[in-house]
């Protein structure tokens, strides 16, 4: 049975949870003031949802498609007949052999050059969406039509002709699914603001919870109603808008509605938008990759945020597992309201999810609603402004709700909590390291966070503030243990190996055994018995590999269904080997039980 268990490893991609997940890719392309989305299904087929204004099909959409190396072209999905969504679609349809071009049909369809160009390019490929229909993208990814022309899956109808923006109210709403990952696309669908028809309400009810919400109408006040947010409950929201646009997109009202102290979500925008609204990260084109269990949002410059999907079980964070590693309490080159940040780091033995963690600053508390995935050793920023052009050059982090964090220049107290548990806290006063333009960095991540355990940052970031936001502290001297952990799900278990002091200079060997024993090897004693499972793990794909420079990696083991070994008790250890086959470090054994 154990041999069967390990043969199933070949059926899984061997990427670590520290790497970008492999499967579905969605790219919200920076097309300026408009929407253009490229979807690459897990089997390599490429599809398009809108294509931005005229010219952007060729200038922006086609290069993104080419970079994805598609094996073929499936659907184009048009949300509605407005130039900033359909203008580039005729260019895409002319240049690539897409099979089917779906739109909302001819009910009260506008008549203009852009629409004519689209109709001519679509030609015989043109079809009309059908409410409730599921469109197969390939490799297990599907799109379902939830709403169109005011009609909603389940029978509800909201009359678009009674809306102040009829064509927007006729927008098609789509739900994209792959495994446990889900995402909403709604064009410019209206939610009752500015005298528009509230189609969002019934459409979001029909859609249900999603992981990612692509903002309707570029973050206009016409859309993103409280009902929609409550029903979709997204962890990540993304918005496409033009820099300096004249419409106010995304508006402060919508940004603040999505990103609140009581439920702080991740909000990412292709540009800074129309003005100085803050509360979101600025990324350029936004790439989202998912394996159906977790997903990564990557900015054009390579910065990224990782998330668990809603349904992925994540244990509570334990006290001491998450540390406040750095504070920038008084930036010098930008205002405090743009440049302050709190950096945290996972010092545990496996990835953690941050949903439900609270960042407490004095009497203020921010509850994280996004299920950020943080692997061991990876720092993450909670920043007051997510635009690097305004925040002093910080990397991408979690942009906090507007005005929710204000660190005292001289004295303050900052804590991380979850429920009644204090995960970590820092209290500082006069004489504490750091100051004007200088961050305070934690030295030993396992020692108490006193003034003596902090140093003033020495290295510059951005235009000249001092600190190490988003990377290992320059002043850190933590002695990190070699660790192993195993997380168990109904269909798989994942072995996690961490050795933050040895990244890139040792081989990482993840070992399993049916029993524990003191087994001498080279200069060490391995805490596992050399049995059949031990030998099988040595030969299984991914169990022996060069330790990444980050010092963390993981491997999934698929459990055959039905599980042939329910309740089996197994053991794991993490052993490091150098080029001389000596052991510079190893973990204690851990015990786990198959479901």
The whole-number mean pLDDT for each consecutive block of 10 residues of the chain, a chain of 595 residues, reads 54 73 97 98 98 98 97 98 98 98 98 97 98 98 98 98 97 98 98 97 98 98 98 98 96 96 97 91 97 97 96 85 97 96 96 96 92 96 96 96 95 95 96 97 96 97 96 93 95 93 89 94 95 88 92 90 87 95 96 94
Separation of alpha carbons 417 and 367, rounded Å: 9
Residue 122's φ and ψ, nearest 5 degrees, are -70, -45
331 and 392 in contact (C-beta within 8 Å)? yes
Tokens of 18: 């520290």
Same fold, 2-8+480-593 and 314-466: no
24-28 and 36-40 strand pairing: antiparallel
Separation of alpha carbons 426 and 376, rounded Å: 21
Residue 503 has a pLDDT of: 77
573 and 553 in contact (C-beta within 8 Å)? no
Q: Which residue matches tokens 């920038």?
A: 328
Residue 11 has a pLDDT of: 43
Pick one of 1.20.1250.20, 3.10.20.30, 2.60.40.1260, 3.50.50.60 as the CATH number of 314-466: 2.60.40.1260
Residue 314 has a pLDDT of: 82
Per 3-state DSSP, the chain is made up of helix, strand and coil in percentages (nearest 5) of 15, 35, 50
The CATH architecture of the domain made up of 24-290 is 4-Layer Sandwich (3.60)
In Å, how far from its chain's centre is CA 549? 22
3-state secondary structure of 86: helix
Q: Which long-range contacts (CB under 8 A, 24 or more apart) does 382-385 make?
A: 382/341, 382/342, 382/343, 382/344, 383/340, 383/341, 383/469, 384/278, 384/336, 384/337, 384/338, 384/339, 384/340, 384/341, 385/278, 385/337, 385/338, 385/339
pTM for the structure as a whole: 0.96
The residue extents of the domains of the chain are 2-8+480-593, 24-290, 314-466
How many Cβ atoms are within 10 Å of 432's Cβ, its own excluded? 19
Pick one of 2.20.130.20, 1.10.1040.50, 1.10.10.1100, 2.40.10.170 as the CATH number of 2-8+480-593: 2.20.130.20
Residue 9 has a pLDDT of: 44
Residue 8 has a pLDDT of: 52
Separation of alpha carbons 571 and 528, rounded Å: 7
């Amino acid at each position: 049975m154990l041999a069967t268990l390990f043969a199933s490893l070949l059926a899984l991609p061997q990427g670590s949870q520290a790497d970008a997940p492999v499967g579905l890719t969605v790219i919200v392309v920076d097309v300026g003031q408009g929407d253009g989305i490229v979807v690459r299904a897990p089997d390599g087929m490429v599809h398009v949802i809108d294509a931005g204004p005229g010219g952007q099909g060729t200038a922006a959409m086609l290069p993104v498609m080419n970079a994805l190396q598609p094996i073929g072209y499936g659907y184009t999905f048009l949300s509605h007949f407005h130039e900033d969504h359909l203008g580039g679609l005729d260019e895409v349809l002319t240049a690539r052999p897409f099979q089917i071009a779906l739109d909302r049909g001819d009910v009260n369809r506008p008549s203009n050059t852009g629409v004519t160009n689209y109709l001519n390019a679509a030609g015989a490929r043109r079809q009309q969406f059908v409410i409730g229909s599921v469109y197969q993208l390939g490799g297990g990814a599907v799109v379902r039509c939830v709403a169109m022309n005011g009609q909603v899956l389940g029978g509800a109808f909201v009359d678009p002709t009674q809306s102040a923006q009829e064509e927007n109210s006729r927008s098609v709403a789509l739900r994209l699914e792959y495994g446990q990952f889900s995402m909403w696309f709604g064009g410019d669908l209206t939610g009752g603001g500015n005298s528009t028809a509230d189609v969002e309400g019934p459409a979001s009810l029909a859609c249900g919870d999603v992981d990612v919400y692509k903002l309707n109408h570029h973050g206009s006040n016409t859309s993103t109603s409280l009902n929609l947010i409550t029903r979709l409950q997204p962890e990540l929201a993304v918005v496409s808008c033009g820099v300096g646009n004249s419409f106010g997109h995304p508006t402060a009202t919508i940004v603040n509605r999505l990103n609140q102290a009581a439920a702080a979500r991740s909000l990412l925008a292709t540009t800074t938008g129309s003005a100085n609204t803050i509360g979101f990260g600025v990324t350029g084109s936004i790439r989202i990759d998912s394996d159906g269990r977790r997903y990564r949002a990557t900015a054009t410059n390579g910065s990224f945020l990782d998330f668990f999907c809603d349904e992925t079980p994540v244990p509570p964070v334990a006290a001491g597992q998450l540390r406040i590693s750095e504070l920038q309490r008084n930036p010098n080159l930008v205002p405090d309201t743009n440049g302050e940040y709190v950096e945290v780091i996972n010092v545990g033995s496996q990835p953690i999810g941050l949903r439900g963690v609270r960042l407490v600053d004095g009497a203020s508390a921010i509850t994280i609603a996004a299920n950020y995935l943080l692997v061991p050793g990876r720092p993450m920023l909670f920043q007051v402004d997510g635009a690097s052009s305004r925040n002093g050059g910080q990397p991408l982090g979690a942009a906090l709700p507007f005005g929710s964090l204000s660190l005292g220049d001289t004295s303050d107290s900052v804590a991380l909590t979850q429920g009644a548990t204090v995960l970590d806290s820092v209290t500082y006063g006069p004489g504490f390291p750091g100051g004007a333009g200088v961050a305070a960095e934690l030295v030993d991540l396992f020692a108490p966070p006193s003034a003596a355990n902090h140093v003033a940052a020495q290295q510059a970031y951005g235009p000249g503030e001092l600190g190490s936001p988003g990377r290992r502290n320059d002043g850190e001297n933590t002695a990190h243990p070699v660790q192993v952990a195993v997380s168990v799900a109904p269909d798989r278990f994942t072995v996690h190996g961490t050795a933050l002091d040895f990244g890139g200079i040792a081989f990482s060997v993840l070992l399993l055994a049916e029993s524990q024993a003191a087994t001498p090897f080279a200069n060490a004693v391995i805490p596992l018995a050399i049995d059949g499972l031990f030998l099988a793990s040595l030969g299984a794909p991914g169990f022996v590999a060069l330790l990444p420079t980050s010092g963390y990696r993981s491997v999934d083991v698929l459990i055959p269904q039905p599980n042939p070994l329910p309740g089996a008790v197994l053991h794991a250890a993490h052993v490091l080997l150098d080029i001389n086959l000596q052991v510079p470090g190893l973990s204690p054994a851990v015990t786990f039980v198959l479901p």
